[in-house]
Amino acid sequence: MTEQEFIKNLTDLNITPTPDVLDKLKTYCTFLQDYNKHTNLTAITETKDIYLKHFYDSLTITKVIDSNTINTLLDIGTGAGFPGLVLKIFYPHLEVTLLDSNNKKIKFLEELCEKLDLKVTLVHARAEEYIKDKREYFDLVTSRAVASLPILSELALPYVKVNGYFIALKGEISKELEASSKILTTLDSKITTQKDFTLPFEESKRTIIKITKLKPTNPKYPRPYKQILKENK
């Protein structure tokens, strides 16, 4: 996906990027490629793939939510900033927190945000640790290509405000959906939107799951990660 193809396909998402946004994405792309030469951040390094599989894919979240209607966003397992930092570039009003347990990726994001002159909160921690400070704080929690939906739901939903959302960007998800029903009921949440589609050009399958939180989460959640993992093997 070239930059022009990226711009054209964004019309399907009702997004029109400004020149400043496009400049920031160019800087993002180049810095990611250069940094990746000495620190492994992503296997996707070709410019056309970064625009399609990182930038465009991150923005497909707009298929299920209007980012102008939210203020606080947490991106769990953000990696090199997807989707959280891309959303911050397009929606500057967002109060964005990028969370990752890999400190090398947080260091990359620190340098990148300085280059882009973006103010975000960067947190080097595991999701089950950071929750102590931000329980039921965020309008929206996102996660992309991190773990299975049952695991992610338990890690993410305690952060979400009542009537807020957890949105997971996934690939093939049929088995994960079946396995998620129990924990979603336990956490007083439900899937309110499921959007299936394919990425342009390569036609790979994508699914976006939007989960709405209905009631406050029992304080015992999330449980220790090893316990969550054991239950979801």
Q: Where are the alpha helices (DSSP H) in the chain?
A: 3-10, 19-36, 47-49, 57-59, 84-90, 103-116, 127-134, 149-156, 174-186, 225-231
The pTM score is: 0.95
pLDDT at residue 47 is higher than 80:
yes
Q: Could you tell me the residue ranges of all domains in the chain? A: 68-231
Contact by Cβ (8 Å): 70, 139: yes
pLDDT at 147 over 80: yes
- pLDDT at residue 172 above 80? no
Residue 35 confidence (pLDDT): 96
Chain centroid, CA 169 distance in Å: 7
Low-confidence winner among 26-35, 143-152, 178-187, 209-218 (lowest mean pLDDT): 143-152
Homologous superfamily of domain range 68-231: Vaccinia Virus protein VP39 (3.40.50.150)
Whether 58 shows a pLDDT value over 80: the answer reads yes
- How far apart (Å, rounded) are the C-alpha atoms in residues 181 and 176? 9
For residue range 173-206, what is the model confidence (pLDDT) as tens digits?
A: 878 888 899 999 999 999 999 999 999 998 889 9
